[in-house]
Structure 1
Amino acid sequence: MFGRVKPLDAILATAEKKSLHRSLGPIQLMLLGIGCIIGTGIFVLTAAGAQKAGPGLMIAFAVAGLVCIVAALCYAEIAAMVPVAGSAYTYSYATMGEFLAWTVGWALIMEYAIAAAAVSVGWSGYFTGTILNEFLGVALPPWLAGGPLALGGVEGGLINFPALFIALLVTGLLIIGTSESAKVNAVLVAIKVAALTTFLVLTLPEVELERFNPFLPAGVFGGFGSGVGAVGAAATMFFAYVGFDAVSTAAEETRDPQRNVPIGLIGSLLFCTVFYILVAAGAIGAIGGQPIGPDGFITGGQAPFPAGSAELARQCALPEFSAALVCSDEALAHVLRQIGFSGVGNMLGIAAFVALPSVILVLLFGQTRIFFVMSRDGLLPEVLSKVHPKWRTPYVVTAITGCVVAVAAAFFPVGQLADISNAGTLYAFMMVAVSVMLLRRRDPSRARKFRVPALWLIGPLTIGGCVFLFLNLPFEAMIMLPAWTAIGIVVYLVYGRQRSHLGRGIVEVHEPEYADLEPDIPGVEDRGRP
């Protein structure tokens, strides 16, 4: 089980036979990374992060950003050296064997699907608050605005219909083959960056230092499984960064990947880290961001209500808390309205409304990409990668994924979805760091245009940072990963192990139909044969 290690040369040979057109440069990769990173995390989860940490949200962004930076360095080395599809799954297959690679791929399936659901819920907040309430003067009935679960955060909620709708709409677009061109992707990135820049210009002059006191109302560590405090918020806000790993999935379509993939990964991450810390400072400094607990705003020594909980929803329904940052479903637009810039706040809401579906599309694409590679290795049924004769897209797996995403978006709150997604992401990032260290020891002579500096330090820091953040997730999110993994192990033992191409002696796998019929990646004009 642990001995099936796929030869790295076979993986690279398979990628070369696919003959995909390499058209992406470093700037396009950075735009792809920034386009996926800047999304629900900053536009929506700012409120959830403030509820967990208050002004300590700034530290949370820094901690999460630090873990992502060391992880990005590991991603940069291995993605440039192994520029093939599959991301952490493929890297694990070439270093730790089929079984552990399966667990990574299985975790990535959960990550991308749950993350897409979280972004769908985030989009729903801006659609309901900005488009319906502010522009059309329509108040969506509570039973259509949020899910009914205990952590639903909406009193009287039955289903989050806008989130369900956008998830199914994007799924339909992927099935019929509609994707963004490189120019459209660049425009959407420009819209999001311009919106956040405008937010900073308007909020930073309104900052008052007393709003940052107490700076750590819930402390630094909230305790194992609590998900609160600055570190608990960092575990949640980690979701705001994870888009950078999507850059590695485009390695096969990149010119000079040894140079451009590291630039795209690290450049997009550093750009967004600085932005996030400044946005957190502007939001909290302008209107305050203290969390709410049993006795009202937390001033220290108490545990805040869980973000997205029914208890918090009841408090936020009271007049004295209705304007609080932590009670908003559209945090940044809400801040601008509170400081007298309602029109600009509405424009920011429109920017989020327009741009967030592109993030859902990229995430759904990434999920189907993982399915494709696992199916190509024989670990999942090939019917999942069946290509539509007219639209030339993997419509079966896309439809299944889209329905699962839509159901999750309809009934779960954004904060809870983000935490669950983070659990799978942290596991995948940890395994990438292990893969880099193993390849350095086993194959030191292989060409590496980018090498992680001081890998003896960066590698363990990445592993330790991922474990550290995982242990500071809410317990409900932590338990999801082993539960999902247990299901995956059963699937592997019942199906994948017997049908594995590598297990049957088929080392190099090439399916001619995949070369021409894989779905377009958003932001890439041409992925067919040159």
Structure 2
Amino acid sequence: MNLEKPNPKRPTLQKDLKRVGFFTLAFGAMIGVGWVTALGSWLQQAGPFGAALAFVVGGAVMVCIALCYAELTAMMPVAGGEVAYAYRAFGVFKSFLVGWCLAFGYIAISGFEAISIGLVLSFLWPATDRWPLYSFAGSTVYLSHLLLALICTAAITFIHLRGVKQAARLQNFLTFSFLLICALFVGAAFMVGKPGNWQPVFASTEQGMLAGFLAVLITIPFWFVGFDTIPQAAEESANEVPARTLAKLIIASVIAATVFYVLLILGLSYAGPWQQTAAADLPAAKAILFALQSPLMMNLVLLAALIGLFTSWNGFFLAGSRVLFALGRGCIIPTRFGETDQQRGTPAAAIWVVALLTVLAPLMGRQTLISLVNAGSLFISMAFFGVSLSVLKLRRIAPDASRPFRVPGGSVIPFIAALGSAAMIIAMVLPGSPVALSWPREILIVACMCTVGALLWRLGAKSRVSASDSERDYLILEIAGQEKH
């Protein structure tokens, strides 16, 4: 279809993100803080080599998904990423579904990080647990934790309102500090440990070694959520970052995360007999304490965890606001979400919405937020599946469209990515799976979020009829004449 440039003004974002900023955004969002406690379960289920192998295999599947993202991001470097991909491939409604799945998943993680500050700090300074207010769903809610969440959310909101350059500077500083600290304690672990500590290299469970390996493998994709923050911010790339480079950065971030997890597992299990540290509350920290007999080095591990919390929070806060902004700018939900600060070029309205929900989330307590994140993981997996299908669909309906980066091997890798994403979804809804959503809390959360999504869709009805198809093409894709169906 041919069309003229539409009349509505298209809100634009500040273009200040550079190569390093994109990489730290994705890598920092992926790493986060969960490894501090999850290391023990990985080792108990699969052993050091089994867990490392699971991350290599799982990482390879995630690279396939990342390749799909890379092709579409280079093809459509606009805010909201997946919102645009689904819109061009499948139309308005499926674009909304993908966007809502991502927005819920990202904001749930943002709220989880807010309440987790108090928990991580309490490992370093136990006095952080002050002034208990009430218990909710088995978790005690402390006033001190709520105040920390409020202060840190206000700080992150202020930074993001000032501009993406400031958010990127924070992410760069935090991520490189994190890597430096991790290099210190993982390097120390390899220096003082011995190969015998790896024995047995594979854990043996009642179901056998393969069962333990698969138990870890099935959880791997959820440790890589975060590379998809690059597509959300693609529109904000500085002129020096070509679309093809964005594609390569997505893939590089997933590979780097895989290397990090493998080195972490092998290094900390090398430091001392892994059976002794795996059962500890904080196995990563206890492994360093056992090997070096140094509380200072153990606290360095906890400091890395605290920094990782902020890198993850900063990344998902940005991603959540960009998804809401893209939906609002495209007249899919109320257009207020798509408004920008004219001076700073930031999606101010969407940032305030994410900030408000992030501040309110800790009131529900840590256990409820864990359930929200688990439910959000299902929604993000659905978005991964949608992106994989979008690649296949656009290859068919827009074969001649410009693709600065193209997934090699024809449709094989997108097909593997779709299968991998579908496996993630099935694993989360299949009773008895190690990552199955729990009944009733997490299943009810999914039902509630579907209801909220339906209400948001209804609220956006007037916005959707306010824009013609050609106008929406321009607002979402910034280009004209795209065959979507």
Give the secondary-structure state (helix, strand or coil) at the position aligned to 1:476.
coil
Verify: 1:420 aligned to 2:375, yes or no.
yes
The within-5 A match list for 1:108-507 is 108-120=102-114, 122-130=116-124, 132-133=125-126, 138=127, 140=129, 148-149=136-137, 157-159=139-141, 164-176=146-158, 177=161, 180=166, 182-205=168-191, 206-209=193-196, 211-213=198-200, 215-218=202-205, 229-254=212-237, 255=239, 256-289=241-274, 324-328=277-281, 330-339=282-291, 340-384=293-337, 393-394=348-349, 396-407=352-363, 410-412=366-368, 414=370, 416=371, 418-473=373-428, 474-476=435-437, 479=443, 483=447, 486-488=450-452, 490-491=454-455, 494-497=458-461, 499-501=463-465, 505=469, 507=471
1:271 Cα offset (Å): 1.4
- C-alpha separation between the residues in 1 aligned to 2:208 and 2:425? 13
Q: For structure 1, list consecutive stretches of 5 or more residues without a partner in the other structure.
A: 1-6, 151-156, 291-322, 516-530
Deviations 1:367-393 (A, max 9, x none): 122111212233323445667899973
1:53 to 1:171, Cα distance in 2 relative to 1, 3 A: same
How many matched pairs?
455
Q: What is the one-letter code of the residue matched to 1:114?
A: A
1:374 to 1:246, Cα distance in 2 relative to 1, 3 A: same
1:211 to 1:106, Cα distance in 2 relative to 1, 3 A: same
Give the secondary-structure state (helix, strand or coil) at the position aligned to 1:243.
coil
Give the secondary-structure state (helix, strand or coil) at the position aligned to 1:159.
strand
Q: What is the one-letter code of the residue matched to 1:272?
A: A
1:274 Cα offset (Å): 1.0
- C-alpha separation between the residues in 1 aligned to 2:23 and 2:109? 20
Give the secondary-structure state (helix, strand or coil) at the position aligned to 1:65.
helix
Deviations 1:69-100 (A, max 9, x none): 00110000100110101121221011111222
Deviations 1:384-422 (A, max 9, x none): 5667899973264134321343235534475x5553332
1:448 to 1:369, Cα distance in 2 relative to 1, 3 A: same
- C-alpha separation between the residues in 1 aligned to 2:314 and 2:41? 24
Q: What is the one-letter code of the residue matched to 1:352?
A: A
- C-alpha separation between the residues in 1 aligned to 2:199 and 2:387? 37
Q: Select between 475-484 and 398-407 the one with higher mean Cα deviation.
A: 475-484
Q: Which residue of 2 aligns with 1:39?
A: 32
Deviations 1:275-317 (A, max 9, x none): 2111012223434555xxxxxxxxxxxxxxxxxxxxxxxxxxx
- Note if contact 1:170-1:360 (Cα within 8 Å) is conserved in structure 2: no
1:50 Cα offset (Å): 4.1
Give the secondary-structure state (helix, strand or coil) at the position aligned to 1:242.
coil
The within-5 A match list for 1:22-37 is 22-37=15-30
1:219 Cα offset (Å): 7.4
Q: Which residue of 1 aligns with 2:100?
A: 106
- Note if contact 2:224-2:254 (Cα within 8 Å) is conserved in structure 1: yes
Q: TM-score, normalised by structure 1?
A: 0.74
1:411 to 1:8, Cα distance in 2 relative to 1, 3 A: farther
1:398 to 1:422, Cα distance in 2 relative to 1, 3 A: closer
1:8 to 1:347, Cα distance in 2 relative to 1, 3 A: farther
Q: Select between 212-221 and 423-432 the one with higher mean Cα deviation.
A: 212-221
Q: TM-score, normalised by structure 2?
A: 0.80
- Note if contact 1:103-1:485 (Cα within 8 Å) is conserved in structure 2: no
Give the secondary-structure state (helix, strand or coil) at the position aligned to 1:446.
coil
- C-alpha separation between the residues in 2 aligned to 1:264 and 1:29? 7
1:58 Cα offset (Å): 1.9
Q: Which residue of 1 aligns with 2:481?
A: none
- Note if contact 2:178-2:307 (Cα within 8 Å) is conserved in structure 1: no
1:386 to 1:253, Cα distance in 2 relative to 1, 3 A: closer
- C-alpha separation between the residues in 2 aligned to 1:107 and 1:326? 35
Give the secondary-structure state (helix, strand or coil) at the position aligned to 1:475.
coil
Question: Which residue, out of 61, 72, 79, partners 2:73?
Answer: 79
1:376 to 1:257, Cα distance in 2 relative to 1, 3 A: same
Give the secondary-structure state (helix, strand or coil) at the position aligned to 2:58.
helix
1:142 to 1:209, Cα distance in 2 relative to 1, 3 A: farther
